[in-house]
């Protein structure tokens, strides 16, 4: 989440690069997760789902930055929000930059 790229100088800020994904839970996963909830501990089904969603959002942010003509993205962030019951959005965003 740096505001610079080590060893490089930023020439121009091109705007916000963003990528998002909305994922819904799957009944089969919910059932297994519900069973795990009884005994406690990590719910690996959701850990995997969220990890895949983050990667997809980051990939989309990088593609958007490339479309803007960027050489990189600085000060990037990830955020999540509930879209509806059982579905969440992961948003990756940052400042697309052109380097000297």
- Give the residue among 68, 100, 97 at the shortest CA–CA distance from 2: 97
pLDDT of residue 11: 96
| CATH at residue 20 | 3.30.110.70
Question: Length of the chain, please?
Answer: 100
Alpha-carbon gap, residue 65 to 88, rounded angstroms: 23
Per the structure, the count of domains in the chain is 1
pLDDT of residue 32: 62
The pTM of the full predicted model, rounded to 2 decimals, is 0.84
- 1: in domain: no
Q: From first to last of the 100 residues of the chain, give the pLDDT tens digit.
A: 688 889 999 999 999 999 999 988 765 556 666 666 676 677 777 788 889 999 999 999 999 999 999 999 999 999 999 988 878 899 999 999 999 9
């Amino acid at each position: 989440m740096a505001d610079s790229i080590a060893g490089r100088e930023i020439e121009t800020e091109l705007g916000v690069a963003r990528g998002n994904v909305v994922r819904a839970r799957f009944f089969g996963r919910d059932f297994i997760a519900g069973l795990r909830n009884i005994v406690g501990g990590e719910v690996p089904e959701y850990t995997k789902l969220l990890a895949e969603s983050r990667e997809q959002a980051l990939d989309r942010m990088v593609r958007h930055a490339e479309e803007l003509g960027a050489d990189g993205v600085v000060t990037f962030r990830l955020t999540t929000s509930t879209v509806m019951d059982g579905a969440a959005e992961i948003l990756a965003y940052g400042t697309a930059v052109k380097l000297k």
